[in-house]
Chains A and B, each alone.
Chain A
Amino acid sequence: MEREQIAQLLEKYWQVETTVEEEKMLAEYFRGPDVPAEWEMYREIFSFYEQERKVKPGEGLEERIMERVRPRPKLWGAWWSAAACIVVALGISVYQRDTPTIKDTYDDPQQALAAVQKALLVASRNMNKGLHPLK
């Protein structure tokens, strides 16, 4: 290839007017042995593109990209949960208002114990009634 021709192509290249074929010719030329010293610096440029082209994408690159750009499902679940929590909280507060807290009948533990004792004996006696129906 003529040096003149390369000079023209280079000129076009810097103007970004070269075709794909012309760029291939340039790359080929700069891979070749007879590049004059003043163009030595260009060799790097074209060999750089050449090498970059050889770099293959890593394993599963496409999947990784698609995962990043995948449209996310909207978080309806979270909204529903939030709404449900409010409903439940309201329900519990209403429910508790409906059920008056039953006060302790006794203030004195001694009296309370006597009542518990009596209740247990009644329950126990009735239980035995069930177990000995013929007595």
Chain B
Amino acid sequence: MVVLGLLLVGAVSYAQDDAIGKFFGKYVEDSRFSVVSISPKMFRLLSKVNWDTIPADLRQTVSKLQSLRIISTETTPFVFYKEALSKIDMKEYEELISVRDKNDNIRFVVKESGGIIHELLMIAVDNDGFTMMSFVGDIDLDKLARLSSSMDIKGLEDLKNAKRKNK
């Protein structure tokens, strides 16, 4: 009975585990959505590309990624934003950053174990559209934040504080 119970729990959590996958799966064929999917296989092929012009930080970040999925739509963005949020099991994810102002609504949640971030999920919405982005791999948030040109030393400090606050 115990074994059965454990196996069932495992099966259930496995299904929940991939709520994002389900969201992607549901809308991948939907013409209202545009989808970008880069598989682990393709990520392995990326090593064959000429990297000379790619900045070191970016190169390191990409080399630790395993997969990328992006789904976005311009149709009823807030409806899909709500649906996406409802599909995320917040027991699995930890809230990292939440932006809410008159223009943007962005959330970053992470899946972490043993101090390593295995998945970074971004859900963003504004009047123009809804985007959900899932990075899977070994994700260094500091490096990622540093990638955009607007990054400065202050931002790095803030990111560290944000991480600590969420612990």
Interface residues of A (CB under 8 A from B): 77, 80-81, 83-85, 87-88, 91-92, 95, 98-100, 102-106, 109-110, 112-113, 115-117, 119-133
A112's partner among B38, B98, B104 (CB-CB below 8 A) is B38
| Further contacts, 16 of them, CB under 8 A, given A102-B39, A123-B122 | A77-B3, A81-B4, A83-B4, A100-B25, A102-B28, A105-B36, A109-B42, A115-B36, A116-B46, A116-B62, A119-B68, A120-B61, A124-B144, A124-B146, A127-B145, A127-B159
Closest to B122 in A: A123
A105 contacts across to B, CB distance below 8 A: 35-38
B131 contacts across to A, CB distance below 8 A: 122
Our count of residue pairs bridging A and B at CB distance below 8 angstroms stands at 152
Interface residues on B, range: 35 or more
A106 contacts across to B, CB distance below 8 A: 38, 42
Interface residues of B (CB under 8 A from A): 1, 3-4, 7-8, 10-11, 14-15, 18, 21-22, 24-25, 28-29, 35-39, 41-43, 45-46, 48-49, 54, 58, 61-62, 65, 68-70, 97-99, 101, 104, 106, 108, 120, 122, 124, 131, 133, 135, 141, 144-148, 150-151, 154-155, 158-159, 162
